């Protein structure tokens, strides 16, 4: 079992998002991830006019590489489902910057 986390920076051309818009985005993203058999987490912080977001999911895979690919696919699909364009984001298999995998110990 692995925790896969991806760091995403959202930039906005027209205007910065309000706090309420960021909260709504997080809620929609968590709702999307909650439909899947993963444990999601989403954290955000303002970065100038943009937003830094860390999205994490716990995936049940045997190998770190497959967990990274599986988790990245889940995160990409969820981001796209809430209207975040992912074409210019870095994802594992193409570029692993901004992605992390951590093995979880079951107690």
73's CB contacts (< 8 A; 6+ apart) are none
CB 5 within 8 A of CB 99: yes
Beta carbons of 17 and 81 less than 8 angstroms apart:
no
Parallel/antiparallel/unpaired status of strands 2-10 and 50-59: antiparallel
Q: Looking at the 3D structure of the chain, how many domains does it have?
A: 1
Higher pLDDT, 4 or 89: 4
The mean per-residue pLDDT over the stretch 23-36 comes to 89
Question: What value does the mean pLDDT take over residues 32-40?
Answer: 85
For 18, the domain range is: 2-103
Q: Which helix (H) or strand (E) holds 66?
A: helix 64-81
What average pLDDT does the segment 71-98 reach?
Answer: 69
Would you say 29 and 79 are in contact if contact means Cβ atoms under 8 Å apart?
yes
Answer whether residue 94 shows pLDDT above 80: no
95 vs 26, residue with greater confidence: 26
Mean pLDDT of the chain: 78
Q: Residues with Cβ < 8 Å from 12, sequence gap 6 or more?
A: 49, 50
Residue 32 to residue 17: CA distance in whole angstroms: 20
Local confidence band at 97 (pLDDT 50, 70, 90 cut-offs): very low
pLDDT at 98: 53
* pLDDT beyond 60 at 2: yes
CA-based R_g, the chain, Å: 14
Q: Residue 90: which CATH number?
A: 3.30.70.1120
């Amino acid at each position: 079992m692995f925790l896969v986390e991806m760091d995403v920076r959202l930039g906005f051309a027209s205007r910065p998002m309000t706090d309420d818009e960021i909260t709504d985005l997080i809620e929609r993203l968590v709702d999307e991830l909650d439909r899947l058999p993963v444990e999601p987490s989403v954290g955000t912080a303002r970065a100038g006019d943009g937003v830094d977001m860390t999205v994490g999911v716990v995936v049940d895979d045997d190998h770190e590489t497959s967990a990274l690919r599986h988790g990245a696919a889940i995160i990409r699909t969820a981001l796209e489902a809430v209207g975040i364009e992912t074409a210019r984001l870095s994802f594992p298999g193409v570029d692993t910057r901004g992605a992390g995998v951590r093995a979880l110990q079951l107690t």
